[in-house]
A and B are shown apart, each in its own frame.
Chain A
Amino acid sequence: MRLDVVLRVGVKLIIPFMLVFGLYVQLHGDYGPGGGFQAGVIVAGAIITYALIFGIEEAQRVAPRKLVEFLVPLGVLIYAGTGVIGLLSGQNFLDYSVLAAHAPAGRERGILLVEAGVLVTVASTMIALFYAFSERGR
């Protein structure tokens, strides 16, 4: 499909919007449907779309395999690490109220961080799955 001009140009146009929409879903999760999981899938969708049109090698220049495999546990580390901050400041595990001066503000910040971790892990896991399947038999 590398030679098809319409697809190549179309995908180049659509990918920035996919990424921005991913971020919108991520941050809008506080007020409506959305959150890290959905956003992670959308962000991974952008990379996978790119790989479908430009080929797996091109996609791996953008998101190298090593980086993706590094990001999978990193997201979980962000999530668990946020919980550990509560532990280290003398509160219970996953208690986010210590993250800001006011407890509700701290909890909001905690959820923001946790959802960022979810985004990282979900996006990178989706991409890693796609790589694993598309590299079979090579």
Chain B
Amino acid sequence: MNAVTAQLPALQVVIPLLGAIIAAFLRRGTLAWAWAALITALTPVIAFAQLHQVWTNDTISYRMGGWPPPIGIEYRVDLLNAFVLLLVSLVSTIMMPYARRSVAHEIDGDKQAWFYCMYLLGLAGLLGITITGDAFNAFVFLEISSLSTYVMIAMGRDRRALVASYQYLIIGTIGATLYVIGVGLLYLVTGSLNFADIGTRLAEASAAYPRPVLAGLAFLFVGISLKLALFPLHVWLPNAYAYAPSFATAFLAATATKVAIYLLLRIVFSVYGVAIDLNTLPVSTVLYPLSIAAMFIASILAVYETNLKRMLAYSSVAQIGYITLGIALMNQAGLTGSVVHLFNHALIKGALFLALGAIVYRAGTIKLDDLGGIGRTMPLTFAAFVFAGMSLMGVPGTAGFISKYYLIVGALDAGLWPIAFLIVASSLIALVYIGRAVEVAYFRPIASAPANAKDPPLMMLVPILVLTFASIYFGIDTELSAGVASRVAETLLGGLK
């Protein structure tokens, strides 16, 4: 048993990676789905074991290929990435039962096995970015997850999926290039690729070469911001989410941007923060206006959107604004709010996009104007949409409230009461766009598309309800979310210079 425990960090990535290859050999869709579900279900078990280990003991360090760091690639699990690993793997596992019918409905039979192959590759890539302690290895996994994402998006039924995928491919490639230029600059001045090792050498390097160090931060920051869709670098996101297959949208919305945010946290706090006083770096100066712009502009764009998937995609951009706002605050409560919203938003958006996928499955459209009365013909699905939507707004008693509470406390701690006010004001915009959907769904006469719709089969309904329940539940019991998040914030801030 001990031998297995020691290999957990490798298994976390190797199992979905090998699983993806095997899925490519299984040509039949249902078989590939069953395989992908089995593989996915193993990942949260590993992630939970690791979280337990770092919670009770200390950081896990794993030497890839037996080579000691910083020469070899190190897999390093601390509280922050153990938390993100658990989030990504757990949400994926909850979603997997949903995938079978949704994917079978939207993707041709001979391509389904390839879809599951790409999904598992994407999962392996996201887990890899999160677990690795090596800057270049993170780039490789970033590419693995991005390439598989492009393929998943391009598999959407709508022909515009191809354009959306191409757009994302160009922007994503620029992002990855900027990231690798940043890593290159850091390697030039420190001679290391290991995050922790760069951190220890950076103070000296920054004294000798201040400009390359600053330029490196700029490249890394912009590169990762493209990936996490920080406003105004979000233009790829609405189309990509809108035209991808429903399951892929839900999977990406819940995991991909969150992992990019994790990478930003890692670079800012564990690499730069431990070496240089963060107040002398322009991180907050850049993040404040962009986050607030995201919260307002993206939310307002969501209000005017008639395609429900695009509406939620814009809402995602706005929610990412809240998360980056917490990073900009750089205090205990703000950073806790950031990390906890990372968790809560994954659950909420997962539930919302799965509910939309169910509407596509039954009613065949997600145009708001064609969905009159959908709340009465698909009562459980739309009830889930409403509850998850309430959590999105931050109604007290829901998970979204907890995130916003911490963010507001963080803003007040920083002495920035106008920002606390802006957080509340922008939340009210969420009320408008969710409310608009509710109005159409419950108070309009039943239109032709939803007339024959009914709640989806149990395999699809249960994941929606589980995620919805979770997005309420974590508003009441905050032990796992806010409890871990505040300790994460403590360690991140504790390491700062």
Q: Tell whether A and B belong to one assembly.
A: yes
Chain B residue at minimal CB-CB distance from A110: B65
Which stretch in B16-24, B303-311, B356-364, B477-485 binds the other chain? Answer: B16-24
- Judging by beta carbons under 8 Å apart, are A97 and B66 in contact? yes
Contact A95:B21 (CB < 8 A) given known A73-B117, A83-B14, A87-B14: no
Which residues of B, 13-42, contact A by the 8 Å Cβ criterion?
Answer: 14, 17-18, 21-22, 24-25
A97 and chain B: residue at smallest CB distance: B66
Contact B7–A93 (Cβ < 8 Å): yes
> Which chain A residues lie closer than 8 Å to B3 at the CB level?
90
A94 at the B interface (CB under 8 A): yes
A90 CA / B62 CA spacing, docked (Å): 14
Tell me which residues across on chain A come within 8 A of B11, comparing CB atoms: 87
Contacts of A70 in B (CB 8 A): 25
> Is A92 a contact of B14 with CB atoms below 8 Å?
no
Q: Which residues of B contact A72 (CB under 8 A)?
A: 24
| Count, chain A residues at interface, CB 8 A | 18
Is B276 in the interface zone, CB < 8 Å from A?
Answer: no
Residues of chain B lying within 8 A (CB to CB) of residue A83: 14, 65
The distance in angstroms between the C-alpha atoms of A90 and B10, with both chains bound, is 13
- Are A92 and B66 in contact, CB atoms less than 8 angstroms apart? yes
Q: B174 near A: Cβ within 8 Å?
A: no
Q: Is the CB of A95 within 8 A of B117?
A: no
Query: A86 an interface residue at 8 Å Cβ cutoff?
Result: yes
CB neighbours (8 Å) of A96 from chain B are: 65
Contact in complex: A86, B14 (CB < 8 Å): no
B13 and chain A: residue at smallest CB distance: A93
Is A56 part of the contact surface with B, judged by Cβ < 8 Å? no
Binary contact readout B74-118 vs A (1 if CB under 8 angstroms, 0 otherwise): 000000000000000000000000000000000000000000010
Q: What residues of chain B lie closer than 8 Å to A92, measured between beta carbons?
A: 7, 10, 62-66
A76: CB under 8 A from chain B? yes
**Is the CB–CB distance between B66 and A95 below 8 Å?**
yes
Instruction: Map CB proximity to A onto B37-66 as digits: 1 under 8 Å, 0 otherwise.
Output: 000000000000000000000000011111
Of A77, A84, A95, A97, the contact of B14 (CB 8 Å cutoff): A84
Of A73, A76, A93, the residue contacting B10 (CB under 8 A) is: A93
Q: Which residue of B lies closest to A91 (CB)?
A: B66
Chain A residue with minimal CB distance to B24? A73
Residues on A with C-beta less than 8 A from B66 are 86, 91-92, 95, 97
Residue of B nearest to A90 (CB): B3
Query: Which residues does chain B contribute within 8 Å of A91, judged by CB atoms?
Result: 66
Asked if B7 contacts A87 (CB within 8 A), the reply is yes
Asked whether any CB of chain B lies closer than 8 Å to the CB of A80, the reply is: yes
What is the bound-complex CA distance between A39 and B292, given in angstroms?
Answer: 51
Q: Which of B10, B17, B21, B24 sits near A87, CB closer than 8 Å? A: B10
> What is the bound-complex CA distance between A70 and B64, given in angstroms?
29
- How far is A92 from B69 in the complex, measured between Cα atoms in Å? 14
Closest residue to A107 on the B side, CB-wise? B65
Binary flags per residue of A66-78, CB closer than 8 Å to B gives 1, else 0: 0000101100110
In the complex, the answer to whether B21 meets A76 with C-beta atoms within 8 Å is yes
Return A87 CB to nearest CB of chain B, in Å: 6
Measured between C-beta atoms, what is the minimum distance from A41 to chain B in Å?
18
Q: Which A residues are CB-close (under 8 A) to B14?
A: 80, 83-84, 87, 93
**Residue of B7, B18, B66 most packed against chain A (CB within 10 A):** B66
Bound-complex Cα distance A91 to B67 (A): 11
A42 to chain B, nearest CB (A): 23
Chain B: minimal CB distance from A102 (Å): 14
Q: How far is the CB of A8 from chain B (nearest CB, A)?
A: 35
Which residues of chain B come closer than 8 Å to A76, judged between CB atoms? 21
Task: Give per-residue flags for B478-496: 1 if the beta carbon is below 8 A from chain A beta carbons, else 0.
Answer: 0000000000000000000
Question: Are B64 and A94 closer than 8 Å at their CB atoms?
Answer: yes
Rounded to whole angstroms, the CA-CA distance of A73 and B62 in the bound complex is: 27
Q: How far is the CA of A86 from the CA of B64 in the complex (A)?
A: 10
In the complex, the chain A residue whose C-beta lies closest to that of B18 is A80
Q: Which residues of B contact A95 (CB under 8 A)?
A: 65-66
Q: Considering the chains assembled together, what is the distance between the CA atoms of A84 and B3 in angstroms? A: 14
Closest partner residue, chain A, to B62 (CB atom): A92
Closest residue of chain B to A92, judged by CB?
Answer: B66
Chain B residues contacting A93 (CB-CB under 8 Å) are 7, 10, 14, 64-65
Q: How far is the CA of A38 from the CA of B65 in the complex (A)?
A: 24
In the complex the two chains form, what is the Cα distance from A87 to B21 in whole Å?
Answer: 18
Contacts of A87 in B (CB 8 A): 7, 10-11, 14
Closest Cβ of chain B: how far from A114's Cβ, in Å?
A: 11
Could you give, for residues 117-143 of chain B, a 1 whenever the CB lies within 8 Å of some chain A CB and a 0 otherwise? 100000000000000000000000000
Shortest beta-carbon distance from B146 to chain A in Å = 17
- Residue from the set B10, B17, B25, B62 with the largest chain A CB neighbour count within 10 Å: B10
C-alpha spacing A93/B348, complex, angstroms:
36
For A69, give the chain B residue with the smallest CB separation: B24
> Which 7 residue pairs are nearest across A and B when measured between Cβ atoms?
A93-B10, A73-B24, A94-B65, A95-B66, A73-B21, A77-B21, A92-B66
Q: List 9 A-B contacts (CB under 8 A).
A: A73-B24, A77-B18, A83-B65, A87-B10, A87-B11, A92-B7, A92-B63, A94-B65, A96-B65
**Which residues on B are within 8 Å of A, measured CB to CB?**
3, 7, 10-11, 14, 17-18, 21-22, 24-25, 62-66, 117
Q: Other CB < 8 Å A-B pairs besides A92-B7, A92-B64, A94-B65, 13 of them?
A: A73-B24, A73-B25, A73-B117, A80-B18, A80-B21, A87-B7, A92-B65, A93-B7, A93-B10, A93-B14, A93-B64, A94-B64, A96-B65
